[in-house]
Structure 1
């Protein structure tokens, strides 16, 4: 028969507990589970407070203003995701929400870019940027200079005379997308302008230009160098000063967004995220020339660049520095004294800047208007494909070519000779040309 152990007497239990009652002993004993329940209840209270709280309408509006194209739901998600869980009473953190949106769009853009990588993209724009044309000052359509000091100096130049200023700075790029609809959106147009503007500054701001391309640009003064698009994609995107003026209010407001500098590649991925199509930079070419020299011999030759695009609406042509079209051209020319002249003045002294620019634009219009493939005639080439052999049908009246002694008749080369002869024997030569048509590019550079 099993014996049951006797229960200790109440007095013995009280003595073991140091004189405390059993009830008091239970009360003072620590309870980890109870502490956990209290903490969980506090977290639950905080979570309920966060669930009951809603982002301010003004915060959502501000986010959408900073980053156009952001949906209300995405803006709300950004604000909610950046709320501090430790203090639900704090206000919306706009800066944190902006950072969250940037990161989210970068991830989304990369995923979409990988998804659409195999699609054909032949639409988009040929974008031309001319930051300085080299034609001097004195007219309202003066290209905005890079050097502010030079701008101040040119402000005091008489309006009737051109002066030798900074070397021309220009670029031409092709940015492609899948459809014409996306190509005409403000987001894509602004991106095209900004990339062209950045490409023009690429050599001047330390961008590497491959040795073969640099040699080709400087050989015989041709001036143009084709860029490695992979190198350009990793260059910082610089907003074109005039890009906001032709965009919608929604896109223009993004200029005030306090975002950190980003590369051209990142900007393209961001556009892919917003537009949902494949976007890639097909090609880019820049003008590379040495800065103007103060040498008496060298200042007698002025480098000048003219530009023109075709196939864009009037609003896109209204830009002063960047232009978008389906066909675009940059033409590099030189103006110099006649070889027999003993004149020690600069090449542009005494010339009207407006007339110079009209002549430069006429040459670019001519290159775009004809199927121009070269400057001079080459063996086996059709005559009309060489710029200098074409009839100068695109000559603008503002160039002021007086019709005398056969001037104004014949081909482009004859007209240039006549224009210079009427201006104290100046010599005008075309030394460089880039004429691109949308969709004709070769191998594509992936963004």
Structure 2
């Protein structure tokens, strides 16, 4: 397979590796971008960064909460200019509020009635396309609820009340003081925004992700030339470190790095006046996972001028 310059450039942007290393990695993996990233990581040339190189779509993340229940929604637009539009902000805020009265699923929120129009959220968004002048879409929703305790919402870099580019929900079950729980929950939500954990516990990490990391660590460890029994111990040590980095309760708490999030929760129980348990979290970043083709402005200008 021919490895194009654009493929090398993309891999370089995603990994920070050198151009020749990127070309070699792509050649070794038949042009498979994900496999090439793993190849570079196994050689110690690149670090894991699954979100690198991805272009965020425009729009807003909105949150709404009612103490024991909260929802986060993502509504996309074509340009960031629209995200600053009062009408668009009002639409996103209304969708979040309407969604709070549903089960939180995308289907339920889309079919719910928006008070401002008396129509479904789906039709209200369609009407807004004509009014605002851009293609709009409700892309994702997520809800957390507790039977007793709080769901703490957090918007990072808030652009307006309950609106921003990154939303987090953290659910804490407890009979303790609600204000104290909400304050601690917000701190954990800020932590989640900063560290982007993969799961709440080791068991909840995607098995495919675990196997992928283990395979990379085995490959790296074998390059040391040590016996298999030593390699296995090295791999287990690296896997423990991996879980400490990606599992919420095992991560060093950004508010107090001397404690893990799990230990910080235990300490905070003194202020709650009761035992507490983090039962879930949601982190929703605007445009996460959306690939957008970037235009070559210079090429467009040249084409418009009739040049080749």
What TM-score do the two structures reach when normalised by structure 2? 0.59
Are 2:179 and 1:333 equivalent residues in the alignment?
Answer: no
State the match for 2:186 in structure 1: 361
Q: Deviations over 1:212-270 (max 9, x none)?
A: xxxxxxxxxxxxx6x143x432210146xxxxxxxxxxxxxxxxxxxx61221222122
Are 2:283 and 1:435 equivalent residues in the alignment?
Answer: yes
Is the 8 Å Cα contact of residues 75 and 92 (structure 2) preserved in structure 1? yes
State the match for 1:55 in structure 2: none
Q: Aligned equivalents of 1:362 and 1:189: distance in 2? A: 26
Are 2:110 and 1:262 equivalent residues in the alignment?
Answer: no
Are 2:47 and 1:201 equivalent residues in the alignment?
Answer: no
Q: Aligned equivalents of 2:91 and 2:136: distance in 1? A: 10
Is the 8 Å Cα contact of residues 371 and 384 (structure 1) preserved in structure 2? no
Q: Aligned equivalents of 1:360 and 1:441: distance in 2? A: 26
Are 2:141 and 1:284 equivalent residues in the alignment?
Answer: yes
State the match for 1:103 in structure 2: none
State the match for 1:234 in structure 2: 111
State the match for 1:129 in structure 2: 64
Q: Aligned equivalents of 2:268 and 2:130: distance in 1? A: 51
| Aligned residue pair count | 201
State the match for 1:310 in structure 2: 156
Q: Aligned equivalents of 1:266 and 1:121: distance in 2? A: 25
Is the 8 Å Cα contact of residues 154 and 189 (structure 2) preserved in structure 1? yes
Distance 1:189 1:386, change over 3 A: same
> What displacement does 1:188 show?
0.6
Q: Aligned equivalents of 2:144 and 2:260: distance in 1? A: 26
Greater radius of gyration (CA): 1
Q: Aligned equivalents of 1:423 and 1:232: distance in 2? A: 34
Is the 8 Å Cα contact of residues 74 and 286 (structure 2) preserved in structure 1? yes
Distance 1:442 1:385, change over 3 A: same
> What displacement does 1:428 show?
1.8
Is the 8 Å Cα contact of residues 121 and 178 (structure 1) preserved in structure 2? no
State the match for 1:413 in structure 2: 262
Q: Aligned equivalents of 1:360 and 1:200: distance in 2? A: 19
> What displacement does 1:418 show?
1.4
Q: Deviations over 1:100-155 (max 9, x none)?
A: xxxxxxxxxxxxxxxxxxxx99210111111x21xxxxxxxxxxxxxxxxxxxxxx
Q: Aligned equivalents of 1:228 and 1:328: distance in 2? A: 16
**Structure 1 unaligned runs (5+)?**
1-119, 134-167, 204-224, 240-259, 293-301, 336-346, 396-407
> What displacement does 1:441 show?
4.9
**Structure 2 unaligned runs (5+)?**
1-54, 214-241, 292-308
Q: Aligned equivalents of 1:228 and 1:201: distance in 2? A: 13
Report SS of the residue matched to 1:333: strand
Distance 1:171 1:423, change over 3 A: closer
Higher strand proportion, which one? 2
Q: Aligned equivalents of 1:121 and 1:436: distance in 2? A: 12
Report SS of the residue matched to 1:409: strand
Q: Aligned equivalents of 2:262 and 2:144: distance in 1? A: 23
State the match for 2:81 in structure 1: 181
Distance 1:127 1:422, change over 3 A: closer
> What displacement does 1:288 show?
4.7
Q: Deviations over 1:161-201 (max 9, x none)?
A: xxxxxxx1211111000000011100111100000111111
Report SS of the residue matched to 2:119: coil
Q: Deviations over 1:307-353 (max 9, x none)?
A: 1111333xx1xx3xxx1111111111112xxxxxxxxxxx23xx3x4
> What displacement does 1:385 show?
2.3
Q: 1:273 aligns with which of 105, 108, 130?
A: 130
Report SS of the residue matched to 2:113: coil
> What displacement does 1:422 show?
5.8
Q: Aligned equivalents of 2:243 and 2:118: distance in 1? A: 48
Stretch moving more, 303-312 or 386-395: 386-395
> What displacement does 1:438 show?
0.7
Are 2:251 and 1:390 equivalent residues in the alignment?
Answer: yes
